[in-house]
């Protein structure tokens, strides 16, 4: 997180642009597909030095978002059945006659072309040459590590593109959906935000990441959404190491492939309570020891040495954007009678996530909750 602080101003610029866009579109009674557009711009700005332009232009520039999503069918299938599909993909005849024409292959090629075009642009345009970017350190020779090849660096960029866009959108969308569709949660959260705003604890024009962590109920909503709607729903397997594993009296041989489902783990009543199937942020404020236990068993960022490498960047983006949207707007779905459409696949996928953001009035923020949250004091200490 300390390293990523240098990109916080970049994220602020993109949040400000998105909020202006929401305000303009909402004034004309037009909805905004907020998360994918915004994330594509943030990713491009951090990785290459300038935004892609989705928010400004109001559409999927260069079809990049569609390219990512079109690759999922093949990538997901290969991940689940590698023993069947990898030999087929590597077959010389199929590789030449079939694979290039698959929609997924076309999507991956578009991602590769985008990387190459942006790297050329960055090396030739003066205003981009000296702008700090996320992967600069990979390009600098380091005697303490093996250097990455050009194709490996390209692969890191492309993987980051996919994970940063849909992975993070799979958190932001359900957060907005759950919070705004539950009146009690929404009122409590808005009361807390208003209380911090009036005490001067939220800076402007965009709230800092450090400030977001100080709001106990907001952070409880973040933790609950990570538990209930983990962006990565897929099972990420590992092999049992040499010597095998003894668990609960059972001997598991070395080389056995093992995994656990975040969806199932996060609904364990033994860990998260009898109401584990319910979205309830208050569970994170009730008992410090229990909250530490829930955190310990959380798989929302992976587990152990296999945790998501983009964890801290994701935390900064999602906390800042979610708080700023709630701070500035009264959020409504395009159709008041319908929630966002949600499917739990390899990652959480959302459709029809268009929102209209009316300027938040004092009446919306003053919800009758006085801002004194049970458990709030312990939660702030626990977060610290």
* Binding-site positions for heme: 308
Distance, CA of 70 to CA of 92 (rounded, Å)? 23
Across-strand partners of 359?
A: 329
What DSSP character marks residue 214? Answer: T
Distance, CA of 305 to CA of 362 (rounded, Å)? 46
Distance, CA of 190 to CA of 325 (rounded, Å)? 11
Q: In angstroms, what CA-CA distances link 178 with 99, 137, 174?
A: 40, 38, 6
For the stretch 104-132, what's the b/e string if a residue is b when 16 or more beta carbons lie within 10 angstroms of its beta carbon? bbebbebbbebbeebbeebeeeeeeeeee
Distance, CA of 78 to CA of 89 (rounded, Å)? 9
Tokens coding 365: 């923020």
Q: In angstroms, what CA-CA distances link 280 with 2, 239, 267, 272, 285?
A: 31, 35, 12, 10, 10
Give binding residues as ranges: 308
Break the chain down into helix, strand, coil percent, rounded to 5: 60, 10, 30
């Amino acid at each position: 997180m300390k390293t990523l602080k240098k990109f916080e101003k970049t994220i602020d610029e993109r949040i400000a642009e998105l909020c202006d866009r929401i305000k303009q579109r909402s004034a004309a009674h037009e909805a905004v597909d907020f998360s994918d557009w915004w994330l594509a711009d943030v990713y491009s700005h951090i990785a290459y030095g300038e935004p892609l332009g989705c928010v400004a232009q109001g559409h999927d520039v260069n079809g990049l978002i569609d390219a990512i999503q079109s690759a999922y069918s093949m990538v997901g299938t290969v991940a689940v059945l590698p023993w069947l599909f990898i030999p087929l993909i590597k077959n010389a005849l199929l590789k030449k006659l079939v694979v290039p024409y698959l929609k997924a292959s076309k999507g991956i090629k578009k991602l590769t072309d985008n990387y190459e075009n942006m790297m050329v642009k960055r090396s030739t345009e003066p205003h981009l040459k000296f702008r700090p970017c996320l992967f600069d350190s990979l390009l600098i020779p380091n005697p303490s590590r093996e250097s990455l090849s050009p194709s490996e660096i390209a692969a890191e960029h492309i993987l980051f593109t996919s994970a940063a866009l849909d992975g993070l959108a799979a958190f932001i969308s359900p957060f907005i959906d759950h919070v705004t569709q539950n009146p009690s949660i929404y009122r409590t959260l808005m009361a807390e935000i208003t209380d911090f705003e009036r005490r001067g604890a939220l800076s402007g024009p965009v709230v800092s990441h450090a400030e977001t962590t100080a709001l106990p109920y907001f952070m409880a909503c973040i933790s609950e959404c990570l538990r209930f709607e983990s962006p990565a729903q897929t099972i990420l397997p590992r092999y049992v190491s040499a010597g095998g594993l003894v668990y609960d009296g059972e001997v598991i041989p070395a080389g056995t492939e093992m995994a656990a489902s975040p969806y199932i783990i996060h609904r364990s009543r033994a860990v998260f309570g009898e109401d584990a199937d319910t979205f309830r942020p208050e569970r994170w404020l009730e008992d410090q020891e229990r909250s530490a236990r829930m955190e310990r068993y959380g798989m929302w960022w992976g587990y152990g040495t296999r945790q998501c490498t983009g964890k801290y960047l994701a935390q900064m983006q999602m906390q800042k954007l979610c708080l700023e949207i709630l701070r500035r707007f009264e959020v409504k779905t395009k159709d008041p009678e319908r929630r966002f459409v949600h499917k739990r696949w390899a990652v959480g996928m959302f459709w029809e996530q268009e929102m209209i953001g009316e300027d938040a009035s004092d009446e919306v923020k003053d919800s009758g909750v006085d801002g004194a949250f049970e458990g709030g004091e312990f939660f702030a200490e626990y977060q610290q």
